[in-house]
């Protein structure tokens, strides 16, 4: 019984570490998307159907077209 409790505690600890890493990866993906889209000209954004005001929503995952 003690071994099962120990393993359960280990899983919870590693889960929070994995969750933290996933948060950092997600933040970095949004940052890279924001930077890449910000470098595009108005013409290039128009070609892909976006306006400059859409960049933050796209980077945060709130805007899906």
pLDDT in tens, 2-36: 455 555 555 555 678 888 899 999 999 999 999 99
Radius of gyration of the chain (CA): 20
Q: What is the pTM of this model?
A: 0.68
Quick check: 64 and 58 in contact, CB under 8 A? no
Neighbours of 55 (CB within 10 A): 19
Instruction: Say whether pLDDT at 38 is over 60.
Output: yes
pLDDT of residue 1: 46
pLDDT of residue 61: 86
Rounded CA gap, 37 and 62, in Å? 15
Structure confidence at residue 65 as a pLDDT band (50, 70, 90) = low
pLDDT of residue 17: 85
* Contact residues for 34 (Cβ-Cβ < 8 A; gap 6+): 55, 56, 59
């Amino acid at each position: 019984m003690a071994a099962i409790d120990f393993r359960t505690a280990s899983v919870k600890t590693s889960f929070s570490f994995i969750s933290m890493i996933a948060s950092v990866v997600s933040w970095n993906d949004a940052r890279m998307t924001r930077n890449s889209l910000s470098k595009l000209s108005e013409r290039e954004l128009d070609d892909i159907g976006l306006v400059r005001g859409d960049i933050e929503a796209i980077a945060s995952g709130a805007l899906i077209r």
